[in-house]
């Protein structure tokens, strides 16, 4: 039972905004959406998370639809170092179990 669905791959031109979509139609009312990225089999790196309001930090913005069934991660000015696999995650209750899914492989093109 997939908790999240993401496109397998995307390209983005360097300097442009990268918009990564995620579908989480079965999300429960108190489940947060987390975004992580993984570069070359390093440990996944935390990017941002949110519940229902849009969130922004120094790395990215997270836009969550009003019905909370989908979200979009926005990297405002993509650089070559943003090339990575991006995971949209819903935490599986109870406890702290993350369901990672297959992620989106983002390639930033010079």
Partner 1 sequence: KAGVTQTPRYLIKTRGQQVTLSCSPISGHRSVSWYQQTPGQGLQFLFEYFSETQRNKGNFPGRFSGRQFSNSRSEMNVSTLELGDSALYLCASSAGVRYEQYFGPGTRLTVT
Q: Which residues bind partner 1 (CB under 8 A)?
A: 32, 34, 36, 41-46, 49, 87, 91-92, 94-103
Taking the complex as a whole, how short is the minimal distance between the CB of residue 105 and partner 1, in angstroms? 12
Instruction: Please identify, using beta-carbon distances, which residue of 7 and 101 lies nearer to partner 1.
Output: 101
Q: Say if residues 71 and 50 touch (Cβ distance below 8 Å).
A: yes
Q: How far is the CB of 67 from partner 1 (least distance, A)?
A: 21
What is the nearest approach in angstroms of partner 1 to the Cβ of residue 99? 7
CB-nearer residue toward partner 1: 54 or 57: 57
61-64 sheet: strands from edge to edge: 18-23, 70-75, 61-64, 55-56
Q: Are 47 and 101 a contacting pair, CB within 8 Å? A: no
How many angstroms separate the CA atoms of 87 and 4, rounded? Answer: 9
């Amino acid at each position: 039972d997939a908790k999240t669905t993401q496109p397998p791959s995307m390209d983005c031109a360097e300097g442009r905004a990268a918009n990564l979509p995620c579908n989480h139609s079965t999300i429960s009312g108190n489940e947060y959406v987390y975004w992580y990225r993984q570069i070359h089999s390093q440990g996944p790196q935390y990017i941002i998370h949110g519940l229902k309001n849009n969130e922004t930090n120094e790395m990215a913005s997270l836009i969550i639809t009003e019905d909370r069934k989908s979200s979009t991660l926005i990297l405002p000015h993509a650089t070559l170092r943003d090339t990575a696999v991006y995971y949209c995650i819903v935490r599986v209750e109870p406890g702290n179990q993350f369901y990672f899914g297959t992620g989106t492989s983002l390639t930033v093109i010079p």
